[in-house]
């Protein structure tokens, strides 16, 4: 039951359905079902499987392999950034669906059409800048209503913070590091030294 909309390395949202032995069975949102083997749950030894997966838990996975019989997934290969991005995109899709419900009778159908050519995040940004884009999917009257509602719903400012290691064996190592960090500060990111070649970077 391969799904043409999915391809290897795609990041997908899943609901855990059941756990049998060393295999986790999940429902891939909008794309059928798949499985995760124990070795793809987490790196290293797993003391308590339910710390990672349990029935009805929502998780973000990466598609490893698609065959006619099964879709193989991984939980451990999803980075923190990919997980955040997937959950944020899902949140935006639900918001758009909620708004569309007040305008059209077929919000899911409209969203599927949008997703054929845009990511929901990109679409919402572009639609705020170019309201005419909405008329590709809606009537002129519906597009005007949606544009008005989107302009009222402004994005909340978010803060993203990460830690990283930075060191150099070059004779000019200190100057090189300062140069790299100054480039990041030019992008209005806050950088702090944490000790032992470790830094934190924060961007709003």
pLDDT per position as a tens digit, 5-47: 788 999 999 999 999 988 999 999 888 899 999 999 998 888 8
Helices (H), 103-204: 107-115, 120-129, 140-152, 173-186
3-state class of 40 per DSSP?
helix
**pLDDT of 109:** 92
Task: Note the Cα 128 to chain centre separation in Å.
Answer: 21
**pLDDT of 19:** 93
CB of 81 closer than 8 Å to CB of 49: no
| Residue range 62-71: mean pLDDT, rounded | 93
Reading the block at residue 132, the tokens are 């005419």
Q: pLDDT: is 60 or 157 the higher one?
A: 60
Cβ-Cβ contacts under 8 Å for 18 (sequence gap 6 or more): 24, 25, 55
pLDDT per position as a tens digit, 119-136: 888 898 898 888 899 999
CB of 63 closer than 8 Å to CB of 75: no
The CATH code that applies to domain 11-78 is 2.40.50.140
pLDDT per position as a tens digit, 73-114: 999 999 989 999 999 989 999 999 999 999 999 998 999 899
**pLDDT of 3:** 41
**pLDDT of 75:** 96
Calculated CA dihedral for residues 26, 27, 32, 36, nearest 10 degrees: -20
35 φ/ψ angles, rounded to the nearest 5 degrees? -135, 155
> Is residue 4 scored above 60 in pLDDT?
no
Show me where the domains of the chain are located: 11-78, 81-152, 160-203
pLDDT per position as a tens digit, 145-202: 998 888 776 555 567 778 888 888 888 878 887 777 776 655 677 888 887 778 888 8
pLDDT band at 1 (very low <50, low <70, confident <90, very high): very low
> Is residue 65 scored above 90 in pLDDT?
yes
**pLDDT of 154:** 57
Q: In what order do the strands lie in the sheet with 198-203?
A: 160-165, 198-203, 190-195
Tell me which DSSP letter residue 4 carries: T
3-state class of 52 per DSSP?
coil
């Amino acid at each position: 039951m391969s799904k043409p909309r999915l391809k290897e390395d795609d990041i997908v949202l899943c609901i855990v359905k059941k756990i049998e032995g060393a295999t986790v069975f999940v429902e891939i949102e909008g794309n059928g079902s798949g499985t995760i083997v124990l070795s793809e749950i987490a790196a290293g030894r797993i003391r308590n499987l339910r710390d990672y997966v349990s029935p009805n838990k929502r998780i973000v996975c990466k598609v490893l392999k698609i065959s006619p019989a099964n879709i193989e997934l991984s939980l451990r290969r999803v980075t923190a950034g990919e997980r955040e991005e997937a959950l944020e995109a899902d949140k935006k899709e639900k918001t758009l669906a909620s708004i569309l419900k007040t305008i059209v009778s077929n919000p899911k159908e409209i969203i599927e059409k949008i997703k054929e050519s845009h990511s929901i995040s990109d679409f919402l940004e572009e639609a705020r800048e170019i309201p005419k884009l909405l008329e590709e999917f809606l009537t002129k009257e519906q597009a005007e209503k949606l544009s008005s509602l989107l302009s009222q719903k402004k994005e909340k400012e978010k803060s993203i913070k990460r830690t990283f290691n930075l060191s150099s064996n070059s004779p000019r190592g200190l100057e090189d590091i300062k140069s790299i960090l100054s480039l990041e500060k030019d992008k209005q990111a806050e950088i702090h030294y944490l000790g032992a070649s470790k830094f934190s970077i924060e961007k709003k």
